[in-house]
Amino acid sequence: MNLHSLEQAIHNFWEEIKQSSAPDVHSLYIGQKLLGGAMGDDGTVYAADFFRYAAEQGNVDAMYELAMCYRWGDGGVYVEPEEALSWLNRA
């Protein structure tokens, strides 16, 4: 798979997730594995974006995963203890 094909697959996956009313955690983990934590600095989708989208839809597991992204600085976000605690409390 070349880079263009991978980027297209990620784009298609992200669009499918956004159309879901409540993304399931399995799909989010697939997205995170596809992204390997983060894609790039040019506005491409980060793994934390998948978790944030689902968390904002009320997915408790995604709230926890997003908290861990902020706790450890994974998925395209920086370490932000306050943000991590905020999402953890919501979960």
Find where tokens 């689902």 sit.
54
For 14-27, write each residue's pLDDT tens digit: 677 667 665 565 56
For 34-83, write each residue's pLDDT tens digit: 555 444 555 455 778 878 888 888 888 888 888 988 999 887 889 999 99
Residue 90 pLDDT greater than 60, yes or no: yes
Gap between the Cα atoms of 56 and 59, Å rounded? 7
DSSP 20: S
- Contact 47/37 with Cβ under 8 angstroms? yes
